[in-house]
Amino acid sequence: MDFLPTLWFIAIAVLWTGFLLLDGFDLGVGMLMLTSTRDERERRQMLNTIGPVWDGNEVWLITAAAGLFAAFPLWYASLFSALYLPLVFVLVGLIFRAVSIEYRGKGHSDRWRRWADRGLGTGSFLAAFGLGAALALTTTGLPIDANGDRVGGAFAWFTPYALLGGLASVGFCLVHAAAFLGLKTDGPVRRRARRLLVRSGLPALLPLTGWVVAVQLLNGGSWTWLLVGGAVVAGLFGWASARLGHEGRAFAGTSAVLVLGVGSIFANVYPVVLPSTLDPAWHLTVANASNSDYTLGVLTVVAGLGLPLVLLYQGWSYWVFRRRLTTDHLPAAHAVRAAVAPPAGAASPGTTSREHRPAGGPEDARPA
């Protein structure tokens, strides 16, 4: 195989892994907002843990899709057209999540915040499930013909592997979020996250394990069993660390589960980037789906210059907001002078209450 197509296959795998690793706990926290607590200050505490980083983490998704489009246009065209319907739901879910986070604190009622929490949780679930299903189908196959076009109706993509991948992504996001909350919070939220990780961590990772093993058996790899075994050991290490109260090690364990597991998946399917379930001769590979060497060379130079900058500013943001967050860090309700004078005859005398505005979360996040 040519060097540049292989290099960009590795780059695409790293970008998808980076998205699941970083935005995974954001999506998990969004889903946990629905069930983990009924206390408003604790929900604000949870939301503020991801407030400074969630939009930066989402950049990995945009970069992965853009890199796929630029480096492997046939892979991009076949995958995104075959999965048009589920990816629409993913887009809707991401919109719900973003709007819920940004506008949660703009309302003045409990009802407004409840609907924002529902939008955040539902949007996070749709995004996690849809992207997991898409990645699972990328590695197990779609009914595509010799031209890369999908054969079948609008739901031809909905297979047991799609369901398995969606559940794998949702389960990992919940586990990863529990580890993240244990690392980033203190008080009841921290204890509840640790309890969730200890009680439900291993069962929630079973779909991810099933996806990894299924790809392993389908492709018959040998050395990749080492990666699978490493992922299992990392999962047990993270669970044991959570039981012992070592949140940092628990988070490292869940992160290693994803890196090793997804690494084994992409290593097993190489050089195929999108298998055809109709005929092996119609597989898309790094050779027949990639762009020209000139284009890949230009992309390599651009990525080599831009990627270090992205890693630096994202690492800096994590460093600034590295401390644990407690409910004591959330500002109390207070009155502020209105930026715009109220109309004549309005009830407000020139001040407005911030009693409800801080409940949105991200604007309250600050280094401890």
* The amino acid at 177: A
Tell me the C-alpha distance between 281 and 277, whole Å. Answer: 10
Q: Where are the alpha helices (DSSP H) in 104-205?
A: 110-140, 160-184, 188-204
Neighbours of 312 (CB within 10 A): 10
Contact 127, 99 (CB under 8 A): no
**According to the 3-state scheme, what is the secondary structure of 13-30?**
HHHHHHHHHHHHHHHHHH
The pLDDT mean for the chain works out to 88
Cα Dmax for the chain: 78
Residue whose C-alpha is closest to residue 166's, from 123, 134, 144: 134
Kindly report the backbone phi and psi dihedral angles of residue 222, in degrees, each rounded to the nearest multiple of 5, phi listed first: -115, -65
Q: Alpha-carbon distance 310 to 315, whole Å?
A: 8
> What pLDDT, in 10s, does the model give residues 242-252?
999 999 999 99
Q: Both tokens of residue 153?
A: 């109706």
Please give the Cα distance from 158 to 153 (Å, whole number): 10
Ramachandran region, residue 213 (left: φ > 0; alpha: ψ -120 to 50; beta: rest):
alpha
**Residue 244 burial class via C-beta count within 10 angstroms: exposed 0-12, middle 13-18, buried 19 and up:** exposed
168-198 pLDDT, tens digit per residue, is: 999 999 999 999 999 999 889 999 999 999 9
**What pLDDT is attached to residue 106?**
85
Phi then psi dihedrals of residue 316, to 5 deg: -65, -40
CA distances from 274 to 44, 70, 106, 290 (A): 42, 16, 44, 12
**What are the DSSP calls for 303-344, one per residue?**
HHHHHHHHHHHHHHHHHHT-S-B-GGGSPPP-EEE-SSPPPT
What would the two tokens of residue 328 be? 């004591």
Q: Which residues of the chain have pLDDT under 50?
A: 348-361, 363-368
Element (H, E) at 216: helix 206-219
> What is the rounded CA–CA span in Å between residue 81 and residue 47?
34
Please give the pLDDT value at position 201: 92
pTM here is: 0.88
Burial of 11 per CB tally in 10 Å (0-12, 13-18, 19+): buried
Task: Supply 161's token pair.
Answer: 């592997």
